[in-house]
Amino acid sequence: LGIDAGVTTLHSSYDDLVADDSLDIVYVATPSLRHVEDSLRCLEAGRAVLCEKSMAPSAAEAERVLQCARRQQLFFCHGVWSRFFPAMADIRRVIDSGAIGEVRSVHCSFCQADGAGACSATLETGVYCAQFCLWAFGGAAPRVAGVTYALHPESQLDTHVSALLQFPCGGVGTIECSLGHASPREATICGTKGVLRVPYPFWCPTEFSVQTMSGPASQQWSEPQTYRTALPEIGGDFNFVNSQGLAYEASEITRCLRSGLLEAPAFDSEACLRVMQVITDIRAHWLPPTPVVS
């Protein structure tokens, strides 16, 4: 188990693992509905944590984990790896340059057809859409203006969710996640002068393009200007597209730990909680509020 991958130490239980003082950080990558419990266990044992998305099923549960990290003065990061891709910084530079004018709407979908009933679409793929929309609009908290959802008939987990978000600047986001059907899994940022497109897979992007649109009925389009970044050259087999890009997250988390930071600037607890609040507001359409054990 793990020996082939260069693992030097194996622990026979989670309790043994978190008691290991030689660890710099624990990467919590258990099934997502265990993340709160496992993150708290690590933090309470004195371990810094990088927790896979979604770190919690709600903003209140996320807040519990973040408070524990603050109390313990330990580094914690919600591992939304998108935030660490160089393309995201490139997109930000293009937006800030005014190339597409003022950002007015963002649309993204992340639907896949092979997981319905086993987990929650909002927690599995919706969190990527929500974080992208919030990020594109600079992070301000939106209002959820509408939600449609479908629940799995047996597990009652959400299989398909679409939501309409309205941002304080007046801009609009539409997001769609599903574990029961396909979608292009692209993101589009629409501005007053043109459009920026992030093709599949938008949540771990290596490419995007910009087109300006002008003239009567916006019918004059510029040639698309395409921006590309190469992935880190890492060999081996991966289960998911662009997994090599996890190296960006790992590298930045290492830098944060070495610098003594308690949060990663690219996705700090404030940004994380805003995303979790949107997810919570969306899920409130079918879930009763959960009492938080503190």
214 in contact with a second copy (CB under 8 A):
yes
Tokens 């920026």: give the residue. 196
Local structure of 74: helix, strand or coil: coil
Which range of residues in 11-19, 45-53, 64-72, 189-197 is near a second copy by CB under 8 A? 189-197
Candidates 15, 16, 44, 102: give the one binding a second copy (CB under 8 A): 102
Query: Bridge-partner residues for 175, per DSSP?
Result: 108, 163
Tokens 């600037």: give the residue. 265
Chain mean position to CA 278? 12
Of 70 and 193, which CB lies nearer to a second copy in the complex structure? Answer: 193
Q: Which helix (H) or strand (E) holds 259?
A: helix 246-259
70 in contact with a second copy (CB under 8 A):
no
105 in contact with a second copy (CB under 8 A):
yes
74 in contact with a second copy (CB under 8 A):
no
Which range of residues in 38-46, 61-69, 194-202, 253-261 is near a second copy by CB under 8 A? 194-202
With CA atoms as reference, report the closest residue to 64 among 278, 285, 267, 273. Answer: 273
153 in contact with a second copy (CB under 8 A):
no
Q: How far is the CB of 246 from a second copy (least distance, A)?
A: 15
Candidates 100, 121, 253, 256: give the one binding a second copy (CB under 8 A): 100
Instruction: Please enumerate in sequence order all residues whose Cβ is within 8 A of that of 83, keeping only pairs 6 or more positions apart, or say none.
Output: 131, 135, 249, 264, 266, 267
Q: How far is the CB of 157 from a second copy (least distance, A)?
A: 16
Q: Residue 235 has which token pair? A: 């060999």
Give the per-residue contact string, 230-259, with a second copy (x = CB under 8 A; - = no). Answer: ---------xxx------------------
Q: Positive or negative CA dihedral for 56, 59, 65, 66?
A: positive
Local structure of 263: helix, strand or coil: coil
Write the DSSP assignment of 104-130 as a string of letters: EEEEEEEE-SS-BTTB-HIIIIIHHHH
98 in contact with a second copy (CB under 8 A):
no
In whole angstroms, what is the distance from residue 160 CA to residue 149 CA? Answer: 5
194 in contact with a second copy (CB under 8 A):
yes
106 and 132 Cβ atoms separated by less than 8 Å: yes
Local structure of 131: helix, strand or coil: helix
Candidates 23, 94, 197, 262: give the one binding a second copy (CB under 8 A): 197
With CA atoms as reference, report the closest residue to 266 among 131, 137, 172, 127. Answer: 131
7 in contact with a second copy (CB under 8 A):
no
217 in contact with a second copy (CB under 8 A):
yes
Give the per-residue contact string, 12-31, with a second copy (x = CB under 8 A; - = no). Answer: --------------------
278 in contact with a second copy (CB under 8 A):
no
220 in contact with a second copy (CB under 8 A):
no
Q: Residue 7 has which token pair? A: 């693992």
Q: How far is the CB of 260 from a second copy (least distance, A)?
A: 37
Site of interaction with a second copy (CB under 8 A): 100-102, 104-105, 107, 109, 111-115, 145-148, 150, 160, 162-164, 166, 170, 172, 174, 176, 178, 180-184, 188, 190-195, 197, 212-219, 239-241
